[in-house]
Amino acid sequence: MRVAMIGTGYVGLVTGACLADFGHVVTCVDKDPAKIESLLAGRMPIYEPGLEQLVARNVREKRLSFSTDLAPAVKDAAVVFLAVGTPSRRGDGHADLSYVYGAVREIAAAIEGFTVVVTKSTVPVGTGDEVERLIREIRPDADIAVVSNPEFLREGAAIEDFKRPDRIVVGVEDERARTVMAEVYRPLHLNQGPLLFTQRRTSEMIKYAANAFLATKITFINEIADLCEKAGADVQEVARGIGLDNRIGAKFLHAGPGYGGSCFPKDTLALLRTGQEYGAPLRVVEAVVGVNDARKSSMARKIIAALEGNVAGKTVALLGLTFKPNTDDMRESPSIPIVYALQDKGAHVRAYDPQGMEEARKVLVDVDYRDSAYDCLEGADVAVIVTEWDEFRALDLERVKELLKQPVIVDLRNIYRLDEMARHGFRYESIGRAAAAP
């Protein structure tokens, strides 16, 4: 089957490469000539484990190609996926759909024959209706069906998530489109990926509801962590204890500095806006957004407290900058407000991240970027673990102790054991657990 993928961002590139790997013939289209030129040269615009090899293999097998020219790709395609950005709109937090509607206008002009137009971008409820209305307005003769097919990819594990999904949600209003989408995802039947067909608006809501619920779980355990610190309990044991309940589950119960990334922050805001528009305010989600924003700032206060309340003129070494490991994504990362707050208090900030420093330089200035964890730690007054990259999980603690001016570590991801840190002579502050002292 011939597929056009409009947008070569995170979702579009991963989805296009995976569909090509299934045997479909995929053309990925993007307006940015530099991005397409880079992809044609085999350079990925994002870091995602395994993506470069996946793209190279399918380009070599002539199942995957890249272009800036939308019209021929859409003309030849049975299915056109919309995978353009829907960032938060300034002022009201609603999803900015200008990129979606701009792409739809171009698609409408290029369609030939029966075409399924699939919204892969995260969009508010009712967007599919507007996409269909817009196409029919521009091309009354067009034979189309508009489908919602939200993505549920985790950055850092996107290829695995696509090929072995928990579920594939498809919102359809047309039986022909249902048949086409079943064929698109037929290769996943071998992995028993459940294909859930719903109405289009229901599919759009599923995406937002899923992300809001996961953001709520993260925020809930973070508040419990604060209480654990005050009450002398261990949040990791609490999370394990409640996670063994099948009604709750263990995932997304890891206390930390708050959620970030490309999805949860903007999707929770967009969902709040949708609730307001429909007269159905979402009080729980509203609280989640507020608590999460406040939490990121509170992490800087935790670091300052570990240095006796004063960081002026002191060097703070941050290990990790991205919002999670195995990505270079800095969007809404907790590291950003942490750095700003530390700099406001007069600290000198050093940082090292295995993949994120190029993106970090675009948003964080006056930071001393280093080439390795140990280089970053040398002579610093405190080490702060912000992102739980694997290479930070087994640092040579004796070497770390020698490099630091004083043996103080603030671990915002709880990747070390309290007894281990005490044995090595560190003052160790973590999340939702008692402080360890030498």
In a 13 Å sphere around the CA of 174, the CA atoms on its Cβ side amount to: 18
- Residues forming the active site: 263
Give the C-alpha separation, 383 to 428, whole Å. Answer: 10
Assigned token pair, 407: 């043996």
Per CATH, the number for 290-429 is: 3.40.50.720
Is the confidence at residue 189, as pLDDT, over 80?
no
| Separation of alpha carbons 11 and 153, rounded Å | 8
Per-residue confidence (pLDDT) for residue 300, from 0 to 100? 96
d(CA 70, CA 55): 20
- And the tokens for 259? 């959620």
For 396, the token pair is 């040579």
Binned at pLDDT 50, 70 and 90, residue 392 comes out as very high
Where do the domains of the chain lie? 2-198, 208-289, 290-429
Q: What is the pLDDT of residues 291-331, one digit of tens each?
A: 999 999 899 999 999 999 999 999 999 999 999 999 999 99
Q: What is the pLDDT of residues 240-287, one digit of tens each?
A: 999 999 999 999 999 999 999 989 999 999 999 999 999 999 999 999
Angle at 425 between CA 420 and CA 431, to 5 degrees: 55
Tell me what pLDDT residue 89 has.
Answer: 84
- Residue whose entry in the numeric block shows the structure tokens 């990926």: 193
Is 165 within 8 Å of 152 (Cβ atoms)? yes
Percentage of residues in the chain having pLDDT higher than 70: 99
Q: Does 190 score more than 90 pLDDT?
A: no
Cα 426–Cα 313–Cα 408 angle in degrees, nearest 5? 5
User: Does residue 179 carry a pLDDT above 80?
Assistant: yes
- In this structure, which long-range contacts are made by residues 271-276, counting pairs with CB atoms below 8 Å and at least 24 apart in sequence? 271/208, 271/209, 271/211, 271/212, 272/93, 273/92, 273/93, 273/94, 273/95, 273/124, 274/94, 274/124, 274/125, 274/208
Q: In CATH terms, are 2-198 and 208-289 the same topology? A: no
Q: How would you list the strands of the sheet with 79-82, edge to edge? A: 64-67, 25-29, 2-6, 79-82, 115-119, 144-148, 168-171, 195-198
pLDDT at 191: 62
CATH superfamily, domain at 208-289:
N-(1-d-carboxylethyl)-l-norvaline Dehydrogenase; domain 2 (1.10.1040.10)
**Does 288 have pLDDT greater than 90?**
yes
User: Per CATH, which fold does 2-198 belong to?
Assistant: Rossmann fold (3.40.50)
Question: What pLDDT does 5 receive?
Answer: 98
Residue 309 pLDDT:
95
Geometric angle at alpha carbon 336, from 385 and 344, rounded to 5°: 100
What average pLDDT does the segment 19-29 reach?
97
The answer on pLDDT for 389 being more than 80 is yes
For the stretch 136-175, pLDDT in tens is: 999 999 999 999 999 999 999 999 999 999 999 999 999 9
Question: Of all residues in the chain, what percent carry a pLDDT higher than 90?
Answer: 95
Pairing mode, strands 315-319 and 408-411? unpaired
Contact 95, 89 (CB under 8 A): yes
pLDDT bracket for residue 192 (50, 70, 90): low
Q: How far apart are CA 128 and CA 131, in angstroms?
A: 5
Residue 322's pLDDT is: 98
Check residue 24 and give its pLDDT.
98
**The predicted structure's pLDDT at residue 297:** 87
315, 303 in Cβ contact below 8 A? no
Whole-number average pLDDT of the chain: 96
Least confident of 95-104, 192-201, 372-381: 192-201
